[in-house]
Amino acid sequence: MRFSTRAERIEPFYVMEVAKAAQALAREAAGTAEPMIFLNIGEPDFTAPPLVQEAADRAMRAGHTQYTQALGLDALRERISGWYAQRFGVDVPARRIVVTAGASAALQLACLALIEAGDEILMPDPSYPCNRHFVSAAEGKAVLIPTTAEERFQLSAAKVEAAWGPKTRGVLLASPSNPTGTSIAPDELRRIQGVVRARGGITLIDEIYLGLSYDEAFGQTALALGDDVISINSFSKYFNMTGWRLGWMVVPDAMVPVVERLAQNLFICASAISQHAALACFEKDSIAEYERRRAEFKARRDFFIPALQSLGLTVPVMPDGAFYAWADCTQAAQTLGVSGSWDFAFALMRRAHLAITPGRDFGTADTGRFVRFSTASSMAQLQESVARLRALLG
């Protein structure tokens, strides 16, 4: 069979290779004293809280299962708008909110709406692997800009300005970021937006982890910077609904009909049951539960990062959000007699039954030295992981 160059351009997702190997080893390790612990997975171990489950059940029984309009249920768009007002003090009218099948569909729609063949989109290295592919699937080119710990592994206005060329169309940022859990400092973000705006470019910002923010200095939405910012969000992470496939995007007024047309044709709509269920995410009791869980995620971070540091797995920047630790494994790899994060990840998997993610997928600059631990697992699992790391690394 002959496949499109568009499809051939999509690089393999190495994480999946690691996950496959981990699953195979897990079968062997099952029933032993050390069953496999999966710290390679970027999804909460919680499921949707009771009110949300009940709302899904009610929707199903009442037959609220037909297509919705492509932009999403009006009631849900209103609730999301209310959430921005309540939580962030920002006025985001419901008419600018587009409900999507997860952040993934939102990113795809945004890229298809805005990118011409050959357009370049600047993004930090390291960043979420799929972002490069959303851009390339829209015939654009992702330009990865190496970042440093001093920059919180995020782009700076100076770097955006220096990298801007005749083909540059805009930037794709994520704050807090996957894999680093670090956010862009608000002043720097304002400066980046200034540089992009002055060039007539687009600022796309993935705020999927914004709800899981642990530091007041960073927890604000970029939407406060102006109506031209495009923000991607999701029910997957803060709302603990990964498999429900529901997210949203806030776009400028002029972009709504364009995204609507694309969504109508490509997806028809996001899952109706999930949309009805998500209305209950914003009930007082649900938010209270989500906030308890956010505190639990913070407690996990506060336990796990210092433990990694004490074992020579250096986390150069304390994550201010999300549930990841981006750790330099150079020293720990030496202790195990291997070199590079790929071999280190496999060594941990085989010798400690700990599955983690090597840096390779997230970029090319410095990713050979880094691994990503997910701290979305229970505290007991994190404690057991640290005990195993301590036994192995001393």
Ligand X SMILES: Cc1ncc(COP(=O)(O)O)c(C=O)c1O
| Binding residues for ligand X (CB under 6 A) | 42, 102-104, 128, 174, 178, 206, 208, 234, 236, 242, 247
Cβ 358 to ligand X shortest distance, Å: 16
Q: Do residues 222 and 360 touch, judged by C-beta distance below 8 A?
A: no
Closest residue to ligand X in the complex (CB) = 102
Q: Which residues pair with 346 in a beta bridge?
A: none
Pick the closer one to ligand X by CB: 173 or 332: 173
User: Which is it for the CA torsion 120, 122, 126, 128, positive or negative?
Assistant: negative
Burial 96-134 (b: 16+ CB within 10 A, else e): bbbbbbbbbbbbbbbbbbbbeeebbbbbbbbbbbbbbbb
Residues written for the chain = 394
What are the CA-CA distances from residue 230 to residues 110, 205, 321, 341, 376 (Å)?
Answer: 8, 6, 20, 34, 27
Pick the closer one to ligand X by CB: 100 or 312: 100
Pick the closer one to ligand X by CB: 40 or 220: 40
Pick the closer one to ligand X by CB: 79 or 353: 79
37-38 vs 354-355, strand pairing mode: parallel
Cβ 243 to ligand X shortest distance, Å: 9
Cβ 233 to ligand X shortest distance, Å: 8
Q: Which of 153, 226, 179 is nearest to 14 (CA)?
A: 179
Q: Which of 118, 239, 222, 234 is nearest to 172 (CA)?
A: 222
Pick the closer one to ligand X by CB: 347 or 361: 361
Pick the closer one to ligand X by CB: 128 or 153: 128
Cβ 103 to ligand X shortest distance, Å: 3
Cβ 70 to ligand X shortest distance, Å: 17
Cβ 33 to ligand X shortest distance, Å: 32
The end-to-end CA distance of the chain, in Å, is 52
Cβ 104 to ligand X shortest distance, Å: 3
Pick the closer one to ligand X by CB: 108 or 385: 108
Task: Report the C-alpha gap between 318 and 305 in whole angstroms.
Answer: 8
- In the chain, the amino acid numbered 382 is L
Cβ 203 to ligand X shortest distance, Å: 16
Pick the closer one to ligand X by CB: 128 or 304: 128
Count other Cβ atoms within 10 Å, centred on residue 87. Answer: 15
Q: Which of 346, 380, 19, 366 is nearest to 179 (CA)?
A: 366
Pick the closer one to ligand X by CB: 134 or 164: 134
Pick the closer one to ligand X by CB: 242 or 286: 242
Chain center to CA of 1: 34
User: Which is it for the CA torsion 226, 164, 324, 10, positive or negative?
Assistant: positive
Cβ 311 to ligand X shortest distance, Å: 25
Helices and strands (DSSP H and E) totals, the chain: 14, 12
